A and B are shown apart, each in its own frame.
Chain A
Amino acid sequence: MSSFWERLLGRSNLRGTGQQAKDRLQFVLLHDRLNMSPERMEAMKQEILAVISKYVSVDEQKVDIALQRRDSASLLIAEVPFLTTIHKDDDEVDENREQQQAEDEVEAPPPTKKSRRKKASPAEDANEMPEDDA
């Protein structure tokens, strides 16, 4: 028997393995209901990618095609990042992009910042602390 307070407060907001069970079930039932086994899903994904790749270059490593449930509907959600976001024929934009890349290289922080800290010039320190300029 539960106490008055337990009954009053009901289920706590702690989300333990019960939530995991729900999430995992929702995933597996989505596939069960559509008779979409992981193998079928993979075959469909490859076919979709083949079609898209005829028109644009796709970054296949980052593609995410999955079934999802939204409200009570089942959806196929596809996230397909392109390799080149800017059209190559557009010279002006291309120039800007090259310039941007160059700037990125200049401003990119050294990968091992702490070890190189001692060598940092006063100018670089100022860049890292914009509040000094104010």
Chain B
Amino acid sequence: MTGKVVTITSGKGGVGKTTTTANLGVALARLGQKVVLIDADIGLRNLDIVLGLENRIVYDLVDVVEGRAKLRTALIKHKSFPDLYLLPAAQTRDKTAVSPQDMIQLCNQLRPEFDFILIDCPAGIERGFRNAVAPADEVLIVTNPEVSAVRDADRIIGLLEAERKGPGRLVLNRIKPDMVRKGEMLAPDDVTDILGIKILGIVPEDENVVPSSNSGIPITLNDNSRAGKAFHNIARRLMGERVPFMSLEESGGFFKRLGRIFSGGGG
């Protein structure tokens, strides 16, 4: 197989990159895909703890790049999903320990063995960003419906175009449908209008997200969670399926909504 490298980025920190990466990884694995997640946030390692794998780290990304460990030995297999692996970031080094060329080589080694290689990009637009984006076949831009996050997302889209990795697809995270309805929050349509890129998924604000990262069990495993369902849908769309947007995600007109309600309300 020839794995697809998908980098998850945002510009601004705290918008949900790591949560998105972890959940897409789990959702893709549940859909029968062989997946490896790479934490490219060297010095600020987090993907391991969100996935509940923090106690299993022996080697990390920098160990592999500097030749202290073989790639195969550094990969951590997930407890519940034998087809889901993590390559953790180094915690005691910084972003300059790895080069964009190193990342390209690393991904080329992984491509034959995996369906998806997801890279969790650090916040910012410096070296860490360039490392994470260099090997990407596709880039997902995570943002929140807030002015600061949208502005940073626009900057990232500009940089991706300059690196010929653009335009990427958007994941709009933490949307509050009630606030959108009241006109007190940017609607999905507004955000895609402003940024001018295609939207891959809309994740509603969900109070189950914090408990799920507390316990290291990604929210997409919670079938009652709307955010979890949204991540599952995004994973299916990444695999090329056409999945309608959930009713709460919707941003269409009156008749589109009416149609969805009577056809069972999307999903």
Interface residues of A (CB under 8 A from B): 2, 4, 6-19, 21-22, 24-26, 28-29, 32-33, 72
Please tell me if the beta carbons of A2 and B154 are within 8 angstroms of each other in the complex.
Answer: no
- B82-90, B179-187, B230-238: which one contacts chain A? B179-187
Please tell me if the beta carbons of A29 and B151 are within 8 angstroms of each other in the complex.
Answer: yes
Question: Is B158 positioned at the interface, with any CB of A under 8 Å from its CB?
Answer: yes
**Which residues from B are CB-within-8-Å of A24?**
147
Please tell me if the beta carbons of B150 and A18 are within 8 angstroms of each other in the complex.
Answer: no
Please tell me if the beta carbons of A33 and B158 are within 8 angstroms of each other in the complex.
Answer: yes
How far apart sit A24 and B178, CA to CA, in the bound complex (Å)?
22
Please tell me if the beta carbons of A8 and B186 are within 8 angstroms of each other in the complex.
Answer: no
CB closest chain-A residue, reference B253: A10
- B18-26, B164-172, B206-214, B254-262: which one contacts chain A? B254-262
Known: A21-B147, A22-B194. A4 touches B261 (CB 8 A): yes
A/B interface sample: 24 pairs, CB < 8 A = A2-B247, A4-B261, A7-B261, A8-B258, A8-B261, A10-B250, A10-B254, A11-B181, A14-B182, A16-B183, A17-B184, A18-B180, A18-B186, A18-B190, A21-B185, A21-B186, A25-B151, A26-B194, A29-B151, A29-B154, A32-B154, A32-B155, A33-B158, A72-B196
Question: Is B177 positioned at the interface, with any CB of A under 8 Å from its CB?
Answer: yes
How far apart sit A33 and B194, CA to CA, in the bound complex (Å)?
12
Please tell me if the beta carbons of A12 and B147 are within 8 angstroms of each other in the complex.
Answer: no
Interface residues of B (CB under 8 A from A): 145-147, 150-151, 154-155, 158, 177-187, 190, 193-194, 196, 247-248, 250, 253-254, 257-258, 261, 265
CB closest chain-B residue, reference A28: B151
Known: A7-B247, A32-B154, A33-B158. A22 touches B190 (CB 8 A): yes
How far apart sit A16 and B146, CA to CA, in the bound complex (Å)?
14
**Which residues from A are CB-within-8-Å of B193?**
22
CB closest chain-A residue, reference B265: A7
**Which residues from B are CB-within-8-Å of A4?**
261
CB distance from A2 to the nearest CB of B (A): 6
**Which residues from B are CB-within-8-Å of A33?**
154, 158
**Which residues from A are CB-within-8-Å of B179?**
18
**Given A7-B265, A10-B257, 12 other A-B residues pairs in contact with their CB atoms under 8 A:** A2-B177, A7-B261, A10-B254, A11-B181, A12-B183, A19-B183, A21-B147, A21-B185, A22-B186, A22-B193, A24-B147, A26-B194
How far apart sit A19 and B184, CA to CA, in the bound complex (Å)?
8
